[in-house]
Amino acid sequence: MSDLLDLLESPDEQDLRSGVRDMLAAECPWQTVLSFVSEGAEAYDAKLWRTVATGMGLAGLLVPESQGGAGAQWRAAAIVVEELGRAVAPVPFVSSAVVATTALGSSDEPSLLGRLASGELTAALAVPYGLWSAPTLLSVVDGAVTGTVRGVADALGAGLLLVPADDGLYAVDGAAVRRTRVLSLDETRPLADLEFRAAPARLVGSLSAVPCALRAAATMTAAEQIGLASWCLDETVGYLKERYQFGRPVGSFQALKHRLADLWVELTQARAVVAYAAADLAAGAADGRVAASLAKIVGSEVAVRAAEECVQMHGGIGFTWEHPAHLYLKRAKATAVAYGSPDRHRARLATLVDLPLEES
């Protein structure tokens, strides 16, 4: 049945893509991201987030209409995330509008979703960025949570932390938690270590929402990776057309052309896989787990390869801080680790598709 999923973009989806892309071209050129990183003070780019969240109304993309959101499909979210990835935008869209929102999806507290949808509040799921399966559990005693969680993405600026603890998902006010900024590989998406010391916590949902959120996280991260890989490819192609050495554009040398052709093939395939995974999440299809792992594997691989090739083929300039290639390299490698590295997803996939290592 899965083969009948439509992998092409509808006209509405194309409009969404160009709307987000145009906005980012205007509001988030790479120079903006570079100064954000260089200054290193903010949790995220607040001005840009307002435009994304409120101006374009994207914070509530996945929130049901009844709760003030747009009630959109995963496919739409994948498009937005891809464009944000293309711009290495320093905003907590994936963490808040996708992962935390999904984790809250089954919650009894619609008011929280409404606040997330408005963009006034951002939330983060309090799990390590690299987590891919069962969460580390904290404990709750007398309505207060205690323990530490290391390396949580976008938690620094989050007004709300969603904490998987003991028997459920708890909401904790961000201000009630000791948050320490981590000097992380990818400063466009800061990480924080969280220390909960009897922080007041309210039960808002069940733990079963967490694996769903992590699966969505893997798929959407793959969408982000497609975006960043396609920027790297486009940028490199553009540069190689203009850069002359040996009396001709370096892009006319086959040694480079063939590597870029291979990269394009890999990206084309990753695009099909991510389209499949996003459509599959939307359809709630049984193949969703396989699709999410596939997407995370191919997305991670193409993103890292594209970013590494981008640095290499730019030569010396690609190794400088002033050129944006490093922003993409760091984001690529960090997202490859995020929500399960390719190796971990291959291990999961082996079980899902009955290709086990050991005889059971």
Partner 1 sequence: MAEPITEADLRERISAFLADHDPAGDRLAFLRARFDAGLAWVHFPVGLGGLAAGRALQPVADDAFAAAGAPDNRPSRIGIGLGMAAPTILVHGTDAQRTRFLRPLWTGEEVWCQLFSEPGAGSDLAGLATRARRDGDGWLLDGQKVWTSMAHVARWAILLARTDPDVPKHAGLTFFVLDMTAPGVEVRPLRQLTGEAEFNEVYLTGVRVPDEHRLGDVGAGWKVAQTTLMNERVSIGGGALPREGGMIGVLARAWREQPAVRTPGMHDTVMRLWVRAEAARLTGLRVRQQLAAGAPGPDGSAVKLSFATLNQQISAAELDLRGDEGLRRDSWAMSRPDDVDFTGRDTGYRYLRAKGNSIEGGTSEVLRNIIAERVLGLPAEPRVDTRVAWKDLPR
Which is closer to partner 1, CB of 179 or CB of 215?
Answer: 215
Nearer to partner 1, 107 or 230 (CB): 230
Q: Which is nearer to partner 1, 79 or 273 (CB)?
A: 273
Q: Which of residues 216-255 bind partner 1 (CB under 8 A)?
A: 233, 237, 240-241, 248-249, 251-252, 254
Whichever of 103 and 303 has its CB closer to partner 1, that residue is 303
11 counts as binding partner 1 under rule CB under 8 A: no
Binding test (CB under 8 A) with partner 1, winner from 141, 265, 286, 317:
265
The binder of partner 1 chosen from 131, 283, 297, 311 (CB under 8 A): 297
CB 81 within 8 A of CB 223: yes
**Among residue numbers 317 through 356, which ones bind partner 1 (CB under 8 A)?**
346-347, 349-350, 353-355
Stretch that binds partner 1, among 31-39, 56-64, 143-151, 267-275 (CB under 8 A): 267-275
Q: Is residue 346 a contact partner of residue 297, using CB atoms and an 8 Å limit?
A: yes
Query: What stretches of 2-100 show up as alpha helix (H) in DSSP?
Result: 11-27, 30-39, 46-50, 74-86
Least gap, CB of 257 to partner 1 (angstroms): 4
Instruction: Specify the 3-state DSSP secondary structure of 353.
Output: coil
CA 127 – CA 205 distance, rounded (Å):
16
Q: Which of 14, 111, 269, 320 binds partner 1 (CB under 8 A)?
A: 269
Q: Say how far apart CA 94 and CA 71 lie, in whole Å.
A: 16
Q: Which of 79, 40, 114 is nearest to 224 (CA)?
A: 79
| C-beta neighbour count of 108 within 10 angstroms | 10
Contact of 67 with 110, CB cutoff 8 Å: yes
Residue 207 or residue 237: which is nearer to partner 1 going by CB? 237
CB-CB contact of 220 with 347 (8 Å):
no
**Integer CA distances (angstroms), 117 to 21, 62, 144, 276, in order:** 21, 8, 26, 26
Q: For partner 1, which is the closer residue by CB, 9 or 193?
A: 9
Binding site for partner 1 (CB under 8 A): 3, 6-8, 233, 237, 240-241, 248-249, 251-252, 254, 256-258, 260-262, 264-265, 268-273, 275-276, 294, 297-298, 346-347, 349-350, 353-355, 357-359
